[in-house]
Structure 1
Amino acid sequence: MISRCLARLISRHYDDMTVTRVLTRRPIATVTDYPLTEALTQSVADLIDHCDLLVECSGDPYHGTEIIERAFEAGIKVVTINAELQVTTGSYLAGKGFLTEAEGDQPGSLAALHEEAVQMGFKPLVYGNMKGYLNHNPTPEDMAYWSARQGTSVDQTTSFTDGTKVQIEQVVVGNNYGATITRQGLEGLNSTNLQDSANILAQMAEQLGQPIVDYVIPSGYSAGGVFVVGRHDEDQAGAIEYFKLGKGPYYVLVRPFHLCSLEVGKTLRRVIAGGKILLNNSTTPTLSVAAIMKKPMAAGDIIERGIGGYSVRGEAVKIAECPDHLPIGLLKHSVLKRAMEPGQIVTFDDVELAPSRALDIVLQQHREAIHRQLLETQLSEPAWSAAADLAPMALPKAVGAVLS
């Protein structure tokens, strides 16, 4: 849907750029509903050879990672609409080339709102998402119905419904801006008044002494947008009240829409003009999205999908507090080593994972994170040398096997 809508937009309304190639894994003869069938290709080399800027919108962390690495090898900048990739391999990729999330989906919309807020002198305390509906355990039948009605895949519809997508989106924003979370899985306040909910979240942020990311579930007012809660200078309070933002001290800036593919072009033009990165997962993330069991499963059972599946859902976690968690983006055709119960966090030791480039990258990130944690303890030089030698032993067992 994103690719089709973006292709239509560029071909009909932009005279400063052209869609030259569109990579698809489907047989081209079967793709009859695409607006630019002449641009379709199954060759990554063909794609890379004919573009100056790549838009990655596969929603697949595995596939997207491989294509982005190929683009970086050719010196091509990449714009993504793929928060799932960002929280899985995005931090590694952000250190290898120009990678930015696009405006349009909630993370990019929050980044755009952040830039506006800061330019107006606000100090952000809360980066908020609005979620219209939440059901941690939707049925396949319900998801098939809503998938057909909304025009999105069943996997996407499930990840939206069970809360995985909002957790992913907020983690990307948090990592980009150095924000944190109040607890595993976020607060997710049921909200009948956005200002009241914003005040609660802003007070939590001030108690932590750090901006936070979270979301609300609106009732009685429209969902579907994003918001930033911030403070401003006290001597501006009178003017801001006159401007209809209330008495403060917490002010809510709302962007009541996110138009996805229709807004991606703004980020494309930003990059083409030499602008800086709008948003990515940062090269030193502190937050991640863990896989949480939805149902009892036995040793030997297969988890077909992580994001958008019926076995697990995602929850935001602090990496330092859950160092062994398995990022949900890696769970695909995985086999459980032991029985697990609903609510348990899946770790590397709990599953057999299929080899992939994404897995290699995440394992490397684990090792680097351990090294950073050791450095932050300010060990003496001899102690650091000994700790560095032992670092691989601190990794999950699956990591040791791969590294060896």
Structure 2
Amino acid sequence: MISHAFVRLIKNHYQDLEISRVLTRRKLDTLSSFPLANALTNSLDDLVENSDIIVECSGNVFHGTEVIEHAFEANLPVVTVNAELQVTTGSYLASKGFMTEAEGDQPGSLAALHEDALQMGFKPLVFGNMKGFLNLDPSPEDMAYWAKRQGLSIDQTTSFTDGTKVQIEQVIVGNGLGATITRQGLEGLASTNLNDSASILGMMADRMGQPIVDYVMPSGYPAGGVFIVCRHDEEQAPAIEYFKLGPGPYYVLTRPFHLCSLEVGKTVRRVLAGGDILLNNSTSPTLGVAAIAKKPMKAGTMIDRGIGGFQFRGEAVKLTDNFNYVPIGLLSKSILKRAVEPGQLITFDDVDLLPSRALDIVIQQRDAFFGSVPTFSWNPQALRHAVAS
């Protein structure tokens, strides 16, 4: 969906830009309906050789990591619409080349609102997301129904519904903008009044002495936007109240929309004009997204996918408290080494992971941050057994 809409946007409304290549892993003869079919390629080399900037929007951690590393080898800047990648391998990649998340999805929208807030003299305390619905353990049948109705994949719909996506989004914001979390999994306040909920979160941030990331569940007002809770100079309070932001001390700046692919072009132009990074996972992250079991599972259970699957959901965690956690973005075609219970946080001791460049990067990051590498093993016999069964 992102690539189709972005290509249409550039083709129809950006006369100064051209889509030269679109990398796909699908067979080219099955994509005749793509809005710019003659630009399609299966060759990563072809993509890089014919591009000045790469927009990575696959939503896939493993594929996206390989694409970005290849782009950096050619000294190309990269704009991502892939928060899943950012919170998994993004900090390593950010140290190797120019990479920024795009405006349009919630993290980029919050980063843009943050820039506006700073220019107006506000001091951000809370970076907030507004989420309309949450079901921590949705059924496959419900997800298939809603995926078809919304024109999305089942895994996308599931990651939105079980909260994994909002956890991922808020972690990249926290790492990129220097904020933390009040607790594992965030607060997720039920909210009938944004100003009241924002003030509660603002007080939490004040008590912690550091900005925080979180989200609210609106009832009675629209969801889907982002907000920042701020303070300002006391002498500005009369003017700010006159400007209809209330008496303070907590002021709420809102952006009631995020238009995904329709806004990515703004970040592309920013980069091509020599602008700096809007947002990435930083080279020194403090937060990650762990995998939490949704149900009891036996040793030997095959894990098809972490993000958007029916076995796990993601929760924001502090890295210092969870040295050995497995980033949920790494869980793909893996095998449980031992039984797990609902609500259990998955560690490297619990699972056999497929070898991948993304896994290598995560381990390298752990070694750099903590000085030692988690102990885990790869058992291909276990994987073959699970696939056969």
TM-score bucket (shorter structure): over 0.9
CA shift at 1:33, angstroms? 2.6
Distance between the aligned counterparts of 1:116 and 1:153, measured in 2? Answer: 34
Runs of 4+ residues deviating >3 angstroms: none
2:74 corresponds to: 74
| Structure 2 residue aligned with 1:336 | 336
- Give the distance between the partners of 2:72 and 2:11, measured in 1 at CA: 26
Deviation at 1:150, TM superposition (A): 1.1
Listed as ranges, the matches of 1:298-317 within 5 Å are 298-317=298-317
Q: Determine helix, strand or coil for the equivalent of 1:334.
A: strand
Per-residue deviation at 1:396? 2.6
- 1:151-166 superposed matches below 5 A: 151-166=151-166
Partner of 2:102: 102
Q: CA deviation at 1:48?
A: 0.6
Determine the structure 1 residue equivalent to 2:324: 324
CA-based RMSD: 0.8
Aligned to 1:173: 173
Q: Please state how far the C-alpha of 1:369 moved relative to its aligned partner.
A: 1.1
Deviation at 1:398, TM superposition (A): 4.0
Aligned to 2:198: 198
**How big is the shift at 1:32?**
2.9
Residue number in structure 1 paired with 2:123? 123
Query: Map of 1:156-305 to 2, 5 A cutoff?
Result: 156-305=156-305
SS of residue in 1 equivalent to 2:320: coil
Question: Does residue 1:29 correspond to 2:29, yes or no?
Answer: yes
1:397 aligns with 376
Q: Secondary structure at the match of 2:127?
A: strand
Q: Which amino acid aligns with 1:56?
A: E
| Aligned counterparts of 2:308 and 2:68: Cα–Cα separation in 1 | 22
**Matched residue SS, 1:88:** coil
For the residue of structure 2 that corresponds to 1:243, the secondary structure is helix
Task: Give distance in 1, aligned partners of 2:269 and 2:57.
Answer: 17
In the alignment, is residue 59 of structure 1 matched against residue 59 of structure 2?
A: yes
Instruction: Report how far residue 397 of structure 1 moved.
Output: 3.4
User: In the aligned structure 1, how far is the partner of 2:33 from the partner of 2:58?
Assistant: 17
Partner AA of 1:270 in structure 2: R
Aligned residues: 378
One-letter amino acid of the structure 2 residue matched with residue 180 of structure 1: T
Partner SS, residue 190 of structure 1: strand
Counterpart of 2:367 in structure 1: which amino acid? R
The secondary structure found in structure 1 opposite 2:9 is helix
CA-to-partner distance for each residue in 1:33-83, whole Å, 9 max, x for gaps? 310000000010110110000000000000000000000000000000000
Letter in 1 for 2:217: I
In 1, Cα distance between equivalents of 2:287 and 2:32: 41
Deviation track 1:252-273 (CA, whole Å, cap 9, x = no partner) reads 0000000000000100000000
Deviation at 1:15, TM superposition (A): 1.1
Question: Secondary structure in 2 aligned to 1:93?
Answer: helix
SS of corresponding position for 1:16: coil
Per-residue CA deviation, residues 308-364 of structure 1 (Å, 9 max, x unaligned), is: 000000000000001111000000011000011100000001000000000000000
**Residues 120-169 of structure 1: per-residue CA shift (max 9 Å, x gap):** 00000000000000000011111111111111111111000000000000
In 1, Cα distance between equivalents of 2:179 and 2:9: 34
SS of equivalent residue, structure 1 residue 274: coil
SS of alignment partner, residue 229 of structure 2: strand
For 1:27, the aligned partner's letter is K
| SS of alignment partner, residue 113 of structure 2 | helix
Contact 2:137-2:294 within 8 A present in 1 as well? yes
Aligned to 2:113: 113
Taking structure 2 as the reference length, the TM-score comes to: 0.96
Q: Distance in 2 between matches of 1:344 and 1:31?
A: 41
Q: CA deviation at 1:183?
A: 0.2
Distance 1:397 1:143 in 2: 33
Which deviations, in whole Å up to 9, do the C-alpha atoms of 1:374-399 show, x marking residues without a partner? xxxxxxxxxxxxxxxxx45xx33349
Runs of 5+ unmatched residues, structure 2: 379-389
Given that 2:291 and 2:306 are in contact with CA atoms closer than 8 Å, whether structure 1 keeps it comes out as yes
2:133 aligned counterpart, secondary structure: coil
Of residues 62-71 and 29-38 in structure 1, the stretch that sits farther from structure 2 once superposed is: 29-38
Shift of 1:31: 1.1
Q: Give % identity.
A: 70
Cross-structure match for 2:384: none
Residue aligned with 1:355, SS: coil
Q: Measure, in 1, the Cα distance between the counterparts of 2:206 and 2:243.
A: 25
Asked if the contact 2:352/2:376 (under 8 Å) is kept, the reply is: no
**1:315 & 1:105 partners in 2: Cα distance?**
19
TM-score normalized by structure 1? 0.93
Offset, 1:213: 0.0
How big is the shift at 1:291?
A: 0.2
CA deviations 1:9-44 (Å, max 9, x no partner) are: 000011111001000111011113310000000010
SS of corresponding position for 2:88: helix
Q: Take 1:30 and 1:341, find their aligned partners in 2: how far apart are those partners?
A: 42
Amino acid in structure 1 at the alignment position of 2:102:
A
